[in-house]
Amino acid sequence: MTTVTETLPLLRARRLDRVSPPNRAARVVVALLMLAAGGALLAVNTTFRAIEAVVATWLLSPFVEGQRAAIGEHYLVWTPTGDLIALQVTVECTTLLIGLPLTAVAAVILAFTRVRWSRLFGGLAAMWGIVFAVNMLRLVLIGWATQTWGLDPGYKVSHVFVGSLVGVLGYVVGLVVMLLIIGVRAPQRRYSRRARA
């Protein structure tokens, strides 16, 4: 007969004990600063969304005719009927929606584990890069589809179905890449044999 012994709580306790008190304090302070930076980004989310609209306009310009400059958090496209419409980068459509919670996850990992600093910030940078690139791809697809097929079906299909699928897949990839770079692994199970009595 074999039994499975979970050693995760024991290992986790030993891992935390191996970190020196000054290093632990530095980790907690930096984790709190990461959370504060996330709060600051949240406070200026309108400006961040305006930057996203500018980048989406720039990326969309090779694919649409008569591209206009972004206005605030709006990027502009022409419909097939010749109407100029503004597509808004809303709070639900911004990179911050996924990037900030994942930054909070990274802050918790930094504060409560022994992960190397370089791995954590490398994973965090990779995650932000992936999430931002995927969101830009999503915004460009929505703008191009609206320009090509109009509001119905172009905008509706690209925003609700295609955009959501691209967004979710990209965000999952961002999370997985961040965790792989950081070095988070599933807990190891130790198998032991009990002596037969």
Q: What is the pLDDT of residues 58-83, one digit of tens each?
A: 999 887 777 788 899 999 988 888 88
Q: How far apart are CA 96 and CA 41, in angstroms?
A: 8
Flag residues of the chain having pLDDT under 70: 1-17, 186-197
Q: Is 144:184 a contact under the CB 8 Å cutoff? A: no
Q: What is the pLDDT of residue 158?
A: 87
User: Both ends of the chain: CA-CA distance in Å?
Assistant: 11
Q: Report CA 73 to chain centroid distance, whole Å.
A: 19
What pLDDT sits at residue 80?
86
Residue 134 · residue 170 · CB < 8 Å: yes
So what's the pLDDT on residue 167? Answer: 87
pLDDT score of 27: 94
Query: CA 48 to CA 41: how far, in whole Å?
Result: 8
Across-strand partners of 189? Answer: 6
Per the structure block, which two tokens stand in for 11?
């290992």
Q: Beta strand 2-6 with 189-193: parallel, antiparallel or unpaired?
A: antiparallel
